[in-house]
Amino acid sequence: MSLDYEHVWGYVLGGYGLTAGALGSYAFWLTKKLRRARRSVREANE
């Protein structure tokens, strides 16, 4: 089997894109949920 190492940028960019997407999405979701929870706690304690 001959391996074509010269044409792998699609795989490489896919891996980096997937990582960036997953980490970015999780951080965004977490920040949004945390802000909402903090606000709810403030309102509940008022």
Give the end-to-end CA distance of the chain in Å, rounded to a whole number: 69
Alpha helices, DSSP H, located in the chain: 9-45
- Distance between CA atoms of 45 and 40, rounded to whole angstroms? 9
Using CB under 8 A as the binding criterion, the count of chain residues that bind other proteins stands at 31
- Contact between 28 and other proteins per CB under 8 A: no
Minimum CB separation from other proteins for residue 4, in Å?
Answer: 7
Residues that bind other proteins (CB under 8 A): 1, 3-9, 11-16, 18-20, 22-23, 26-27, 30-31, 33-34, 37-38, 40-41, 44-45
